[in-house]
Amino acid sequence: MRHRPLRRTARGNLPSELSGFIGRGAELAELGGLLEVSRLVTVTGVGGVGKSRLVLAAARSAAEDAREASEAQGAQGAHAPVEERYCDGVWLAELACVRDPALLELTLSEALGLTDHTTRPPRTVLAEHLADKRLLLVLDGFEQLVDETASLVRELLLRSPGLRVLAAGRRPLEVAGERTFPLAPPVPEEALALLEARVSAADPAFAASAADRAALVEVCARLDGIPLALELAAGRLRMLSPAQVLSRLEDRFGLLTGGARGGLPRHRTLRTAIGWSHELCTPAERLLWARLSVFAGQFDLDAAEYVCAGPDMPVEGVLDLVGELLAQSLLVREETAAGVRFRMLETVRLYGAGWLESLGDAVRLRRRHRDWYMGLATWCELDWFSPRQHEVAALVEAELPNLRLALECCLDEPDELHLGQYLAGTLWFYWAGCGRLTEGRHWLDRTLDPPGGQETQYEGSRLKALWVLGYVAALQGDATASMCALYECRDGAARSGNRVAAAYAVHRLGCLALVSDDMARARELLGEALEQYRAAGELNSNVLMCQVELGMALAFLGDLPGALALCGEVREICDERGERWTKAYALYVLAYAALEAGGTQEARRLLTECVEINHAFNDLVGLVLALELLALVTVAEGDPAEAAVLQGAAEPMWGGVGLQLFGSGCFNAPRLMCRERAGEVLGAERYAAYAAEGRELCRESLVVRALRGAARVPRPAGLGGVPGPRVSRSTARADQP
């Protein structure tokens, strides 16, 4: 059968709409027209005017158009003309919680689902990823980083001809070619429809009389139709009649329209609406509003109770107060993978932050916030070695903005730098296990080498940060930085008598030897570290990973019985403890040994579970290793075409892992063997065509295909038996991809 390339399909990360989008039909049409003629469109306007909702509605419309175009092309056949725009998806990057300019590129990478384990600058990674893509990037809330955002957008647009950007902010980016779209409040009819819809959603039994409707019309007029102000008013209509709401607005309108001389009227109106909501709150509700402003992004009830409670706010009363703020639309409730969480709209949060500063309580609340997230990170590290690994990963992912804020708090106070080192080190499982090496390196470098070069006397915290830095740098392929950190950790541990830190330093030096292809040295160091762990009574995911890495070194050296014994024991412990992340690497070694012994069916079964686990944790290192070994298994099963597809799909991942790091010697063997064996049957041209098909697969589609392969009936290809993956190192190095 003739090879036919796989079509790309539109995809993205747009959130589902929680409440209906009311009106704005004319604005949507005009915005869509601007996107047709300009590669950068920025929607501007006062906070609360509805910029975010409008750009999200426009983005959903663009994504739907791309999906329909893809489906239409599929129905017409492979030779139908393809609608190219946004065939690589529509992606949202929310920037409101980003304060550190160094995290801007990382935030965009995360939004795009881009994982990179190398030491390349994140901007370079972004530009290379987007260079040949055709997608729409939506940026929301960039005001606090307008210069940095403008610089990044300018470079990406220059280097990515298929990229279009739709931004929402209070001011333009002022990038060449930008088309601005100043957004005014909705027309009176739409404003009234929005208010009535929100009131009905809050109280389905609400039925407006003629007098009520007249009062609602006047409320809309008083609030200039600003959507955020109307949302706040709708929250009050749960308790007050329309006439009462209007009366209270009138009472405070003159008092609360103050502000900076010469300010825009709508800015004063918005402050009126928020100030009016503040006036209607009880003293306890106002206090909680101010204290909740210390959170970045989402937070849960436990965090709110710890951070905000005190002698003037009993912890048992926080729940009811949160409920009141929620009823008044001052808080938003969201269902997430980490459970029910709450969030303040940025404009509302900033108003509360101003009150917190005026109360003189901001510093104390920031420290309480930091202390909570120090405790959260400590608990998560302990709970990582349990059946709750996936829940821990989801929780840390949800809390990342707050953890960043806690790290910044530590860095702001030189006397508490040791807390930052502890926090950055404690999150090792997230940096290494969930595809966050670049961000982990950012925080570890900052806490270990802060501006001004402050020294810390808290040796334990520094030692932990050092071995974690050595681990992260090794996985990034930065051998020099890794060795420097690990030797400093080892020497410091020897001086202080810290046996556990010493074991971690030796372990990670062994890990560095392993990924550097020095298997004999890796065997020596990893064996030594394992003995030190056992002597210290240490048992966790790191210790088990040390045992797996020792097994991997033995397997690559040809000692398959030794590797099977070590990794079989790890598998049993992981099953007993519910540990999954380390288990995936043990399964990889067991599959390698099974394939060496000719057990392709067993190897496939092991690798299927390995791929599933690594994908769930976004562990790119483990995933690409497993996929390449799975491709070799597929060759051994007699399906070289499918093997070429899998191999072609895995190859681009090495750009994110670090080709120089894992691209030679033993780690390269499965790729070389697959290419050689499949190429012998298919021929160079057909192999290249199938590999090109694989390169078009997104990661999710690739994983689905790899997992589905377990039930696939192999296609005879006349290969016969296929040797195991072991090759000589000279062969591996001579045939670099």
The pLDDT tens digits of the residues spanning 161-170 come to 999 999 998 8
User: Where are the strands (E) in 309-462, listed by range?
Assistant: 332-336, 339-343
Tell me, what DSSP letter sits at residue 540? S
668-703 pLDDT per residue, tens: 788 888 889 998 898 989 999 999 998 888 888 889
Structure tokens at 377: 């990170």
Residue 17 pLDDT class (50, 70, 90 cuts): confident
Question: Residue 713: its pLDDT value, please?
Answer: 43
- Whether residue 277 is predicted with pLDDT greater than 80 in this model: the reply is no
Structure tokens at 71: 């489906």
Task: Give the residue, 277 or 53, on which the prediction is more confident.
Answer: 53
Close Cβ partners of 352 (under 8 Å, ≥ 6 residues apart)? 289, 290, 291, 292, 293, 344
- Whether residue 261 is predicted with pLDDT greater than 80 in this model: the reply is no
Which residue reads 């191999």 in tokens?
Answer: 647
What letters, b where the CB count within 10 A reaches 16 and e where it falls short, cover 187-220?
eeebbbebbbbbbeeeeeeeeeeeebeebbbbbb
**Cα–Cα distance list, 115 to 112, 334, 613, 671 (Å):** 9, 26, 16, 21
Which residue reads 């910029």 in tokens?
Answer: 51
Which runs of consecutive H residues, i.e. helices, occur in 237-309?
Answer: 242-256, 265-280, 283-292, 301-308
What pTM, to 2 d.p., does this model score? Answer: 0.80
Spatial distance between the Cα atoms of 99 and 370, rounded to a whole number of angstroms: 16
Question: Residue 268: its pLDDT value, please?
Answer: 55
Share of the chain above pLDDT 90, in %: 53
445-475 pLDDT per residue, tens: 999 987 665 555 568 999 999 999 999 999 8
Which domains, ranges and CATH numbers included, belong to the chain? Answer: 25-182 (3.40.50.300), 188-280 (no CATH), 283-360 (1.10.10.10), 458-572 (1.25.40.10), 580-737 (no CATH)
- Whether residue 272 is predicted with pLDDT greater than 70 in this model: the reply is no
CB atoms within 10 A of CB 729: 15
Spatial distance between the Cα atoms of 26 and 11, rounded to a whole number of angstroms: 26
Residue 80 pLDDT class (50, 70, 90 cuts): very low
Nearest in space to 343 (alpha carbons), one of 97, 135, 581, 131? 97
Spatial distance between the Cα atoms of 452 and 444, rounded to a whole number of angstroms: 16
- Whether residue 267 is predicted with pLDDT greater than 70 in this model: the reply is no
Identify whether the C-beta of residue 574 lies closer than 8 Å to the C-beta of residue 580: yes
Question: Residue 581: its pLDDT value, please?
Answer: 95
Task: Give the residue, 33 or 234, on which the prediction is more confident.
Answer: 33
| pLDDT average, residue stretch 306-311 | 95
Spatial distance between the Cα atoms of 330 and 86, rounded to a whole number of angstroms: 36
Residue 114 pLDDT class (50, 70, 90 cuts): confident
Question: Residue 658: its pLDDT value, please?
Answer: 58
Question: Residue 458: its pLDDT value, please?
Answer: 62
Spatial distance between the Cα atoms of 5 and 394, rounded to a whole number of angstroms: 36
Close Cβ partners of 94 (under 8 Å, ≥ 6 residues apart)? 107, 111, 140, 141
Identify whether the C-beta of residue 580 lies closer than 8 Å to the C-beta of residue 592: no
Share of the chain above pLDDT 70, in %: 87
β-strand partners of 182: 44
SS3 per residue for 86-121: CCCCEEEEECCCCCCHHHHHHHHHHHCCCCCCCCCC
Nearest in space to 609 (alpha carbons), one of 587, 629, 589? 587
Query: Maximum distance among all alpha carbons in the chain?
Result: 88
- Whether residue 53 is predicted with pLDDT greater than 50 in this model: the reply is yes
CB atoms within 10 A of CB 147: 11
Helix or strand (DSSP H, E) at 154: helix 146-159
Question: Residue 345: its pLDDT value, please?
Answer: 79
